[in-house]
Amino acid sequence: MNLKNIWFIMKREIGGYFATPVAYVFIIIFLLLTGFSTFFMGNFFERGEADLYPFFSIHPWLYVLLIPAISMRLWSEERKNGSIELLMTLPVSVIDAVLGKFLAAWAFTGLALFLNFPLWITVNYLGSPDNGVIFAGFIGSFLMAGGFLAIGACISAFTKNQVIAFVLSLIVSLIFVLSGYGIVLDFFSSWAPATLVEAISSFSFLTHFDAISKGVIDMRDMLYFASVILVWLFANAIVINARKAD
């Protein structure tokens, strides 16, 4: 691992986001959707509580839809226009390239998330929320976004077609969310042994994010997201290494 190279690749990648309207469009849509879902679907005012629970609870679903739109280009675009041959014949290791690209996408998502700070100001203006819980929510949401991005990055390494990368990432992401969703778990619990149901649920982003977004920062939840990110990025590196030229 060469930290300098990771940084150079990350810097180039982020520059790429802002060279086209992609970054601005994404941020605007993300903010519109979080705002809309918090105030209208989440009954932000009607609940009469000064917290951001409605805001955070929608994040897994938003990410399922929006994160693949960021991650789809990470490797597919390199494959499509052949620049992967350039990148992989520069003196950088595959790991550096994988990390640089992932960190760029993650930092960008972090920025989009951060731009929701007016919501935080709003709840503090309206009442006196537990800012520790809100902070935990942002941390959890950021970690979860990293998980989705790692999935998407790995999948985009397989194909030079961004549409395929988008759809497959969306499906895999959805599976990772749905496996913790009430209806799905009810379906399993009617016939499957409890340990299996628990295992399925423990693989879900939802289960781990829910605890953090309620302010419970459990080391196990953090570790869960960290391992999801590492496992998918490792797979990403293996895929790139094995099929650079395909």
Partner 1 sequence: MTLRIEIEDLAKHFGEIKAVDGVSFSVKKGEVLGFLGPNGAGKSTTMKMITGFLAPTRGTVRVCGHDVITDPIAVKASLGYLPEGAPAYADMTPDGFLRFIADIRGLTGTEKKRAVDSAAERARITHVMFQPIETLSKGYKRRVGLAQAILHNPPVLILDEPTDGLDPNQKHEVRTLINEMAADKAIIISTHILEEVHALCTRNVLIANGKIKFDGTPHELESMSRYHNAVVVAVVDIEEATFTSFLNSLEFVAEVETLDTQRGVRVYPKEGKQITAELSQSLRDKEWQIDSLYAEHGRLDEVFRTITMGDA
Binding interface with partner 1 (CB under 8 A)? 4-5, 8-9, 11-12, 15-16, 19-20, 81-83, 85-86, 88-93, 244-245
Query: Cβ 89 to partner 1, closest distance in Å?
Result: 4
- Rounded to a whole number of angstroms, the minimum distance from the CB of residue 76 to partner 1 is 14
Region for residue 20 given its phi and psi (left: phi exceeds 0; alpha: psi -120 to 50; beta: otherwise):
beta
Q: How far is the CB of 127 from partner 1 (least distance, A)?
A: 45
- Measured over all CA atoms, what is the biggest interatomic distance in the chain, rounded to whole angstroms? 58
CB atoms within 10 A of CB 168: 19
Neighbour-count burial for 91-105, b at 16+ CB within 10 Å, e otherwise = ebebbbbbbbbbbbb
Give yes or no for a contact between 123 and 50, defined as CB atoms under 8 angstroms apart.
yes
Nearer to partner 1 (CB atom), residue 93 or residue 131: 93
> Which residue number, 91 or 182, has a Cβ lying nearer to partner 1?
91
CB 75 within 8 A of CB 98: no
Show contacts of 88-93: CB within 8 Å, 24+ apart. Answer: 88/240, 88/244, 92/2, 92/5, 92/9, 93/1, 93/2, 93/5
Q: Give me the helix-helix angle, 59-81 and 94-114, nearest 10°.
A: 140
Between 38 and 236, CB nearer to partner 1: 236
User: Rg for the chain (alpha carbons), in Å?
Assistant: 19
* C-alpha–C-alpha distance, residues 145 and 124, integer Å: 25
Cβ neighbours of 130 (radius 10 Å): 12
Helix-helix angle 205-213:59-81, to 10 degrees: 130
Cβ 42 to partner 1, closest distance in Å? 37
CB of 186 to partner 1, least distance (A): 47
CB of 234 to partner 1, least distance (A): 19
| Shortest separation between residue 27's beta carbon and partner 1, angstroms | 18
